[in-house]
Amino acid sequence: MSSTVKRIRLASVAVAASVAVLAGCSSSTPSAKTSTASCAPAKGKVTLQYWNTVPGMDKVVALWNKKNPNIQVETKNISNDQYGTLGNALKAGKAPDLAQVGYDELPNLRTQSAFVDASACSAATAAKSKFVPWTWSQTSFGGTGVFALPQDTGPMALYVRSDIFKKYGIAIPTTWDEYAAAAQKLHKADPKLDITFFDPNNAEWFNGLLWQNNAQMYSYSGDKWQVTVASDQSKQVADYWQKLISGKLVRTDLANGSTQMYAAYQKDQIASYVGAAWGYSMFRDNLPKQAGKWTIVPMPTWGTNGASGDWGGSTVAFMKGGKHLYESVKFNTWLNTDPEALALENQLGGLYPAANAGLQLPALSKGVPYYNNEKIFDVFADSSKKINTSFAWGPTQKTVNLALQDAMAKAAAGDGTLSDALSAAQASALKSMKDQAIPAAAGK
């Protein structure tokens, strides 16, 4: 798969490789020891350390260094072992000033007192208006501080082989009910054709589907985490996909971004893809002969609820131990809001920006040749506006995701159901929190 997809699956997306998470809820969040620091400017020249996994970020940093001789930034790519490297540095007291952290990794790192609250800097608090609202809610833990600045996101949409739908006279679905009906019609028209695939080993993708249906997996009240991974909203999503799986209307033998996945699309065996903004280059780069055959439309909705979901994305966090908070805020703000920086990050690293200014980039306002010159990023921009800002990640998300994937794989093989998988994930969440002495209870 492309480097962008690898990065997000590591950080989330494919993105998921550590023991952390993010709780960006609008209600009260758990107390955690947070380092405080002065926002006074340094006297003289300073050098900041910034660790990340984004391809081409060294060139973005070089642009900053050229313009800011007194605030130099040294960047280190840690994509091979993102959170292992970061965790070891924190334990050794040698963490960088700034580090890329996935949204779903923030809560656990906060419980480890890994961050500095940058709200002492007026520039940090003033940055709120510069970002898509739901992303700020995540990085500020519901407004309790400024622990990171949003960098990129993964608003979801539906990728459609419009030529296949047209061939069989099937309208492009706008609701999940219509999508299920289209799945039956396509398979009936061609038994070798499925509407999409369900990857049971991709909890991050499935979590994005839950997010869309307002499935609040976690909240915090009464001095403890309320765990609702197996809520009614979650089960509605699980039961929906279970019916498609049981009816053999979707493939379950493909992994996202795999050679086998591309082969299935190449052979016209699959007619759509439920994905995120960063995935647009996957088909363009791997299936060049299908140029002009794809279109991107909003996610099918649950009835009249037009909400969307997110899959992937990252932040740039203020790490404990940083000695130059004022300068870190200045660079972090530039990195994630300056149009020139955002354009370069999109061009080199494929980042879909979290900043409002980024959504106005010329590259994101033009038609994309591969997609029949359609302005596909308008779809993602609209999706981003419809993502629930109160969605929260729990403090043991990695463990929960692994439990969810294990149970989903069994369900895909006929052992149990996806609803059972949610129950297994809920039990895993409660146990993992108890094992770490994190107060938690099953919510309603």
Residue bearing the bigger pLDDT, 11 or 93 = 93
pLDDT beyond 90 at 172: yes
Per-residue model confidence (pLDDT) at position 420: 98
> Quick one: angle between helices 232-246 and 418-435, nearest 10?
140
Per-residue model confidence (pLDDT) at position 37: 66
Give how far the C-alpha of residue 75 lies from the chain's centroid of Cα atoms, to the nearest Å. 23
Give the mean pLDDT of the chain: 90
Residue bearing the bigger pLDDT, 387 or 34 = 387
Joined together, the tokens standing for residue 82 give 């993102």
pLDDT in tens, 98-157: 999 999 889 889 888 999 999 999 999 999 999 999 899 889 987 889 999 999 999 999
Per-residue model confidence (pLDDT) at position 393: 92
pLDDT beyond 70 at 340: yes
d(C-alpha 117, C-alpha 129), whole Å: 18
Determine how β-strand 310-318 pairs with β-strand 14-16. Answer: unpaired
Is there a contact between 180 and 198 (Cβ–Cβ < 8 Å)?
A: no
218-221 sheet: strands from edge to edge? 218-221, 224-227, 440-442
Q: CB within 8 A of 336, min separation 6: which ones?
A: 131, 149, 150, 151, 316, 342, 353, 354, 355
d(C-alpha 441, C-alpha 438), whole Å: 10
Residue 66, number of CB atoms within 10 A of its CB? 8
Question: What percent of the chain stands above pLDDT 90?
Answer: 80
Bridge partners of residue 46, in order along the sequence: 71
Of the pLDDT bands very low, low, confident and very high (cuts 50, 70, 90), residue 398 is confident
pLDDT in tens, 2-44: 334 444 333 333 333 333 333 333 333 454 555 556 899 999 9
Determine how β-strand 98-102 pairs with β-strand 46-52. Answer: parallel
Describe the chain by its helix, strand, coil percentages, rounded to 5: 45, 20, 35
pLDDT beyond 90 at 242: yes
pLDDT beyond 60 at 426: yes
pLDDT in tens, 201-225: 999 999 999 999 999 999 888 889 9
Tell me the mean pLDDT in the region 310-335: 96
Per-residue model confidence (pLDDT) at position 32: 54
Kindly report the pTM of this predicted structure.
0.85
Joined together, the tokens standing for residue 368 give 């994309």
